[in-house]
Structure 1
Amino acid sequence: MLLFRLMSALLGYVVILVTGKATERFVNMAASRGIYLWDITRVREGAVLLKVRLGAVKALRHIARRTKCRFHFERRVGFPFLYKRLLRRKALALGVLFFLGALYFLSSFVWFIEVKGTERLTVPEVLGAAAEAGLNRGMPKWRVEPGRVEAALEEKLPLVAWTGVYIKGAKVTIEVAERVVPDAEDNRPSHIIATKAGLVKDVLVLNGHPAVKEGDTVSPGQVLISGEIPPLEEPPKPGEEQKQGEEANKPKKPSRFVHARGIVRARVWYDGYGEAKIAETGRRLTGRSETRVSIKFKGKEIILSGDQNIPYELYETETFVKTIPQWRNLEVPVELVTIKYFEMAEYREELGIEGARSLAGERALAEAAGLVPEEAGIVNRSLEEVQTGHPENIVRVKVTVETIEEIGAESLFKP
């Protein structure tokens, strides 16, 4: 449909008003002769408004004579009519051509330069380095060399790790990625210590000296990766003998102190406890409620709406009190009190031993899961029923959840 409208605008079409006693016959005869009419609208009795392409107007004159109808043009649309108007107004046509030419000429220059990705660098610094490489506002686009500008930015700005220059229309976009410069604190001596107790599973040392190994049991605060690296002991050369005294008097090399980095993953256990009654009794809301609104004035109460008597035998209430704000030193002892009564009913549910055990297990798992960090991976769950030695109406369940998680945290120290 869009293509048809575009072709009609290009070839030209007219909006005509057909009048006469046989407008339906006019439309049918035009359709039978292959003339396409669209947007046909009955304006009034004996009058039809429609659209038809310019090339079919001549054939419609013959059909109008056959059906004794008349038509006249309401509107002319399309390129042929625009072209004729431009021929009559040559100055306007030349102005349009000049405008299009000027627009095309101006779009061949760089008018906007946008910088993206700067954090520590400033936009003027990037634009200054780009200007030295030959990228300026107002220069022709064909003289912009993106590769040369990118190389110049990386050379003149040490903080730039990568840059990209893109041309789109009259706009040039410079994208930069800055280098990650380590903070001063990253070079201060530190240990990796345990944040919780567990059984070490993996130790990956990126910087520092390992203080634990796989299979060790650790407690909170224990050093896992030390920031103190002891000196390496050089083995004696073959055939070289040293006396014990000389070895003792030999000065020892000092230890190196670094900012420890690494990953220590351990097996950690979390406990949860839950209980549930075999037969539960209590009170719960039924869903029905009543509201009473009253005014209290000097100890007297006037009920505005709602029952005076409480409508339920078992209930709980919510009370909302509104007072008139104090005006100057005048305090009006009037209160608007709204009380909502919610009906309650007693209930008894027989869960049975299995049902109570299942419910207690869910509660215990929920408690243990609340202790597990989001990034930890749960590898095992074990449920154990707690026996008290005498019969009760309560089933108690203990849950142990085993996870594998990273337990290390940085801890600065002074050598």
Structure 2
Amino acid sequence: MIRIKLLSLLTGYVSLMVQGESLEKFVNMAAGRGIFLWDIVRLNNHAIQAKVRISEVRPLRHIAKTTGSRFKIVERRGLPFFSHRLRQRKLLAIGAVVFLVTLYLLSSFVWFIDVTGTDKLSPQQIKGIASQAGLRPGMAKWNLDVKAVEKEIRDQLPSVAWAGITVEGTRVTIEIAERKLVTEDVNKGPAHIIAGKAGLIKEVLVLKGQAMVKEGDTVLPGQVLISGETQEEIKPEPSTQPLPEGQEPPEPKYISHFVQAKGIVRARVWYEGYGECLLRETMEEFSGQEKTSVRIKFGSKEIIISGPKSSPYQHDETKQLVKRLPQWRNIQFPVELSTVRYREKIIHRLNHGSAGAKKIAEQRAMEELRAKLPEGAKITQQRLEEINTGRLEELVRIKVFVETVEDIGQTKPFKVNEEDMY
């Protein structure tokens, strides 16, 4: 079956509309005489449409006369008809051939060079070294030595751990992986532990430093929780002489010690998330079906090489990719090759109802809330609240409130002034 259709495409075939009272007899007589009809579609009680090879149209005239039927050609397809159309449009055919040949020749050269993966290095620096190794715009792809260019980049730039080159059409992409220098945290100076967010203190565990808050305190972001400054009292040498009558003992003196505060401060923190859902929604998704149309345009005329003329789907997403000949000395050739891609969309109209919309709104509110929660946060309480605006509307709104217990401490270094020592 497929072989016959391919052969018919080469030799040419036509689509016929046959009308008459004895359509079954017409089809049976054609089959009996070895005439192959395919894609037979009944249009109504007195008409069918079928495809047949061009060489078998003449014998069908005798069958139509015998059965009292009549037919007419509604479509012509195949190589002979395509060649005939090209002969009628010689200039367009020549332009198409010139375009394809030029496009093939131009696609054999490198026109674009991209650099990806750089952080500290400059893309221009990478392109300069690649140019020294022979990779430059306008070079023929068959002269490109990928391994040599990769080796040259690695040899001249010790900070490059890996270099890879990929060639896609006329574009060359140089992918770079730089060496990551691991820097040790050398901050050994004094530091406070401050609140990273607002909360209600639940537990304070001090490993080093001085606690500035206690259980039950409410703190704000940036407030010092554990201070890196501790004070030690300077005790005077004991005196054997009693203080004169009416003289107050001297005020105690303190010396400050500065450390890098360490500890754990757990607090109760509150978050909220919001979600909404319509009672009735229209959703779109791709069915997986798609068609591609390839066309050549010369001036204002366009020839479809393959694929449909327009979208065969009721709902679709259309994307078009156009390739033109490059401009030469301010001359723009009016020839272009375009590829049109049609992707079928399926439209779903959903009626969630009040209960279904509420459940979806809750899920969306929880998704938004989880994005705010830090890793390791322990949820202790959760509460849902439906927002009622007092108006009749096709929308359900939900807020989710949760309470967590988490470590809110963050290390913040500080500088010490000499006058602060005493």
TM-score with structure 2 setting the length: 0.49
User: Of the two, which has the highest radius of gyration?
Assistant: 1
TM-score, normalised by the number of residues in structure 1: 0.49
